[in-house]
Amino acid sequence: MGKGQRNTFDQCIPRMVASIHKVLPGADFSRLRVVRDMHGRLYLVMPDDWADEALTALRSSLLEALGPYSPGEESGVARCSDTLAGDALFREPSLVYWVGDVGVQVVERRAMGQDWVLQPESDRGAHGARFVFHSLKGGVGRSTAMMLWGRELVRQGRTVLLVDLDLEAPGLGAHMLPVESRPDYGVLDWLVEDLVGNAAADFPQEMVAESPLAGSPGLWVAPAVGRCATDHPDNVLAKLARAYLEGEDGSGFATRLRRMVDDLETHVRPDVVLIDSRAGLHETVAATLLHLQAEVFFFAVDVPATWEGYRYLFAHLARLASLDGVSSVGEDWRQRFHMVQARSGMREVDKRRFASSAYSVWVDTLYDELPPRPKKGEREELEPEITEDAGGWAFTFDEQDPEGPHWPLAILRSEHFEAFNPMEQLADVGEHAIREAFGEFFEGLEAALSVQEEGSQ
């Protein structure tokens, strides 16, 4: 079988559409649902009023078209009333996959839940300011930047809570808390105990401790693991195997994580919460990027591998942004995204090169496509950023617009922060070196914080 004939994951939805059109040329795809199971096989759910002949023909046609992605002739197509979910299936969250001008609504059955397909909340919650720091890979200074800004905020008089959600590569506890001062439990323990109903409301009291790095009270840390991990290191991997599971009541990871952060906020009462996200594109990253109602800062270095990874991520998120009504009601959740240029050089040309690379990804994914500009002499009605037209809000920016989320906040490369151990080296680095490397980044964060604080008043 040649490359063009092979039926792969990427080809099966277009082949399904072509097959349906072949059997039913006038098919109304808004009345159909496609269910993709955990293995990637596709099930077509059709309306009850479609004829038996259509059901039979579709079963035969889709079996041939989908090959290994067909669950079989008898189960590959069913009427709505013959499914276990019935009409409720049409109310489940779905993603729209466009094949030409045909929108196919796909209900994803994922091994780790539905967090990547649930629509983010448009409006900020009643909680205080939350900031998520994310990167595709480790080693870009994400945790160091978060720790130093938390310290800066405490020195300004705020109470700050740092939460380590990078469970596979925990670091905040070791970097910010002396061994003897670490709490008994960490985030990993809460997630495991919550599965069996053992994470009581007072549990957060035993999973946070104050860091001495700010030199004054108010810098609280919820590490990924606590002292119990030191006493029972053989149990950590067993806990990781269970931490991301759905609760027995069906609550997904994002729901459980929100509950944990809410409980921590109730105990600490911070002005600002800083969250160190798991790196990469794992299923559980959806919870931190989409469902904590937080400002999200994407750390990147200007290399091709970085932009490939963010293209994968943002292209998926673009499906959520394309759903009807997303950006026409309340705040557009895309406004909470920001790029961070890690290990930047001192030259302006470096920033512009980074911004150009970022823009090429954003314009292909998360920025809305504007209608063609009017010809010369015609009346212009659209502006080159967030504009309103008959279709709602158009979320887009020019490449050189520093207000666009693709335009980076820069953190300068500095030898002071290579292999940085703040518990031992912070006093030697000095405030000037911190301000020189992180000054622009801190200013951008302060601006975002001001917007959140003004919005909560």
Query: Does 263 lie in the same domain as 179?
Result: yes
- The Cα 439–Cα 437 span in angstroms is 6
- The Cα 448–Cα 295 span in angstroms is 8
Residue 322 lies in a domain: yes
355 contacts 408 by C-beta, under 8 angstroms: yes
> Can you give the pTM of this predicted structure?
0.86
- Residue 30 lies in domain: 9-108
Query: Does 404 lie in the same domain as 293?
Result: yes
**Dihedral, CA atoms, 76, 80, 81, 83, nearest 10 degrees?**
40
Query: Does 162 lie in the same domain as 72?
Result: no
pLDDT at 93 over 50: yes
What is the total count of domains within the chain? 2
**Mean pLDDT confidence for 246-261:** 91
pLDDT at 388 over 80: no
| Final residue belonging to a domain, choices 47, 73, 108 | 108
**How distant is the alpha carbon of residue 302 from its chain centre?**
20
Cβ-based neighbours of 438, under 8 Å, separated by 6 or more: 145, 148, 149, 411, 412
404 contacts 157 by C-beta, under 8 angstroms: no
Amino acid at 365: T
Residue 251 lies in a domain: yes
Residue 218 lies in a domain: yes
Which residue is listed with tokens 């072509």? 18
Q: What CATH number did the domain enclosing 316 receive?
A: 3.40.50.300
Query: Does 147 lie in the same domain as 102?
Result: no
Query: Does 431 lie in the same domain as 360?
Result: yes
Which residue is listed with tokens 């920016």? 397
pLDDT given at position 118: 86
Q: Where does the pLDDT of residue 438 fall: very low under 50, low under 70, confident under 90, or very high at 90 and above?
A: very high
Cβ-based neighbours of 2, under 8 Å, separated by 6 or more: none
| Final residue belonging to a domain, choices 50, 74, 108 | 108
Query: Does 252 lie in the same domain as 286?
Result: yes
Residue 181 lies in a domain: yes
Residue 115 lies in a domain: no
pLDDT given at position 113: 65
| Final residue belonging to a domain, choices 108, 138, 165 | 108
Tokens found for residue 353 = 């090169």
Residue 254 lies in a domain: yes
**Mean pLDDT confidence for 58-68:** 94
Query: Does 255 lie in the same domain as 217?
Result: yes
Q: Where does the pLDDT of residue 139 fall: very low under 50, low under 70, confident under 90, or very high at 90 and above?
A: confident
pLDDT at 384 over 50: no
Q: Which helix (H) or strand (E) holds 386?
A: none
> What interhelical angle do 187-195 and 236-243 show, nearest 10?
60
Which residue is listed with tokens 């160190």? 276
pLDDT, one tens digit per residue, over 268-326 is 999 999 999 999 998 889 999 999 999 999 999 999 999 999 999 999 999 887 764 44
Burial of 109-134, coded b for 16+ CB within 10 Å and e otherwise, reads eeebbbbbbbebebebeebbbbbbbb
| DSSP letter, residue 377 | T
pLDDT given at position 373: 56
Residues above pLDDT 90, as percent of the chain? 65
In this structure, what are the phi and psi dihedrals at residue 394, rounded to the nearest 5 degrees?
-105, 115
| DSSP letter, residue 372 | P
Query: Does 142 lie in the same domain as 208?
Result: yes
End-to-end CA, the chain: 64
272 contacts 219 by C-beta, under 8 angstroms: no
Residue 2 lies in a domain: no
